[in-house]
Amino acid sequence: MATQDSTCNIKIEGTPVEQVDVFTYLGSLFTHDGQSTKDIRAKLGTAKALMTGGLKTLWQSHSIAIQTKVRLLRSLVCPVVSYGCESWTLKKSDENRINSFEMKALRQLLHVS
Protein backbone atom coordinates (compact mmCIF):
# COMPACT_ATOMS: atom_id res chain seq x y z
CA MET A 1 0.00 0.00 0.00
CA ALA A 2 1.12 3.49 -0.73
CA THR A 3 0.60 6.52 1.43
CA GLN A 4 -2.18 8.91 0.49
CA ASP A 5 -1.62 10.95 -2.67
CA SER A 6 1.33 8.83 -3.75
CA THR A 7 1.78 6.04 -6.23
CA CYS A 8 3.86 2.90 -6.20
CA ASN A 9 5.98 2.11 -9.21
CA ILE A 10 6.12 -1.66 -8.95
CA LYS A 11 7.13 -3.65 -12.01
CA ILE A 12 7.04 -7.38 -12.56
CA GLU A 13 9.30 -8.45 -15.41
CA GLY A 14 9.20 -4.91 -16.76
CA THR A 15 5.39 -4.61 -16.70
CA PRO A 16 4.00 -2.01 -14.28
CA VAL A 17 1.44 -3.26 -11.76
CA GLU A 18 -1.84 -1.33 -11.70
CA GLN A 19 -2.56 0.56 -8.48
CA VAL A 20 -6.18 0.38 -7.30
CA ASP A 21 -8.12 1.97 -4.45
CA VAL A 22 -10.03 -1.17 -3.36
CA PHE A 23 -9.39 -4.85 -4.01
CA THR A 24 -10.77 -8.14 -2.75
CA TYR A 25 -8.43 -10.81 -1.44
CA LEU A 26 -9.71 -14.05 0.09
CA GLY A 27 -13.16 -12.54 0.55
CA SER A 28 -12.00 -9.38 2.35
CA LEU A 29 -11.96 -5.85 0.98
CA PHE A 30 -8.73 -3.89 1.27
CA THR A 31 -8.70 -0.14 0.68
CA HIS A 32 -5.88 2.26 -0.08
CA ASP A 33 -6.34 4.00 3.26
CA GLY A 34 -6.24 0.80 5.34
CA GLN A 35 -9.68 1.27 6.91
CA SER A 36 -12.03 -1.66 7.38
CA THR A 37 -15.39 0.11 7.18
CA LYS A 38 -16.15 -1.04 3.62
CA ASP A 39 -15.24 -4.62 4.44
CA ILE A 40 -17.39 -4.62 7.58
CA ARG A 41 -20.36 -3.18 5.69
CA ALA A 42 -19.96 -5.80 2.96
CA LYS A 43 -19.82 -8.64 5.49
CA LEU A 44 -22.88 -7.32 7.34
CA GLY A 45 -24.75 -7.03 4.04
CA THR A 46 -23.94 -10.63 3.17
CA ALA A 47 -25.06 -11.81 6.61
CA LYS A 48 -28.27 -9.78 6.36
CA ALA A 49 -29.04 -11.39 3.00
CA LEU A 50 -28.45 -14.79 4.58
CA MET A 51 -30.75 -13.96 7.50
CA THR A 52 -33.61 -12.61 5.37
CA GLY A 53 -33.21 -14.94 2.43
CA GLY A 54 -32.02 -18.48 2.83
CA LEU A 55 -32.67 -18.91 6.54
CA LYS A 56 -35.91 -16.96 6.88
CA THR A 57 -38.11 -20.08 6.97
CA LEU A 58 -35.85 -21.55 9.64
CA TRP A 59 -36.27 -18.49 11.88
CA GLN A 60 -40.06 -18.52 11.41
CA SER A 61 -40.44 -22.20 12.23
CA HIS A 62 -42.32 -22.90 15.47
CA SER A 63 -41.12 -26.50 15.65
CA ILE A 64 -37.51 -25.52 16.41
CA ALA A 65 -36.55 -24.53 19.95
CA ILE A 66 -35.27 -21.01 20.58
CA GLN A 67 -31.98 -22.32 22.00
CA THR A 68 -31.42 -24.26 18.77
CA LYS A 69 -32.16 -21.18 16.68
CA VAL A 70 -29.66 -19.13 18.69
CA ARG A 71 -27.03 -21.83 18.25
CA LEU A 72 -27.75 -21.92 14.52
CA LEU A 73 -27.42 -18.14 14.36
CA ARG A 74 -24.07 -18.27 16.10
CA SER A 75 -22.79 -21.11 13.91
CA LEU A 76 -24.20 -20.07 10.51
CA VAL A 77 -24.42 -16.28 10.46
CA CYS A 78 -21.74 -15.04 12.87
CA PRO A 79 -18.86 -16.66 10.93
CA VAL A 80 -20.01 -14.83 7.79
CA VAL A 81 -19.68 -11.51 9.62
CA SER A 82 -16.45 -12.28 11.44
CA TYR A 83 -14.51 -13.88 8.56
CA GLY A 84 -11.25 -11.96 8.25
CA CYS A 85 -11.87 -9.85 11.35
CA GLU A 86 -8.28 -10.35 12.49
CA SER A 87 -7.17 -7.72 9.98
CA TRP A 88 -9.84 -5.12 10.83
CA THR A 89 -9.04 -1.79 12.40
CA LEU A 90 -12.24 -1.09 14.32
CA LYS A 91 -13.65 2.34 14.92
CA LYS A 92 -16.41 2.98 17.43
CA SER A 93 -18.95 3.42 14.60
CA ASP A 94 -17.96 0.03 13.14
CA GLU A 95 -18.30 -1.62 16.54
CA ASN A 96 -21.75 -0.06 16.98
CA ARG A 97 -22.78 -1.26 13.52
CA ILE A 98 -21.74 -4.85 14.36
CA ASN A 99 -23.53 -4.74 17.73
CA SER A 100 -26.71 -3.37 16.16
CA PHE A 101 -26.67 -6.13 13.54
CA GLU A 102 -26.34 -8.74 16.27
CA MET A 103 -29.26 -7.27 18.23
CA LYS A 104 -31.38 -6.98 15.08
CA ALA A 105 -30.65 -10.62 14.21
CA LEU A 106 -31.59 -11.79 17.70
CA ARG A 107 -34.78 -9.72 17.66
CA GLN A 108 -35.72 -11.22 14.29
CA LEU A 109 -35.00 -14.69 15.60
CA LEU A 110 -37.05 -14.19 18.77
CA HIS A 111 -39.91 -12.33 17.02
CA VAL A 112 -39.40 -9.20 19.12
CA SER A 113 -40.23 -5.88 17.47
**Domain ranges in the chain?**
36-110
Give 25 or 97, the one with higher predicted confidence.
97
Mean pLDDT within 82-97: 90
The DSSP symbol for 2 reads P
Using CA atoms, how far apart are residues 8 and 40, in angstroms rounded to an integer?
Answer: 26
Of 22-26, 45-49, 51-55, 73-77, which gets the smallest average pLDDT? 22-26
**Res. 17: pLDDT tops 70:** yes
Mean pLDDT within 69-94: 90
Using CA atoms, how far apart are residues 50 and 76, in angstroms rounded to an integer?
Answer: 9
Per DSSP bridges, beta strands 22-25 and 11-12 are unpaired
- Taking alpha carbons only, the member of 61, 66, 75 closest to residue 106 is 66
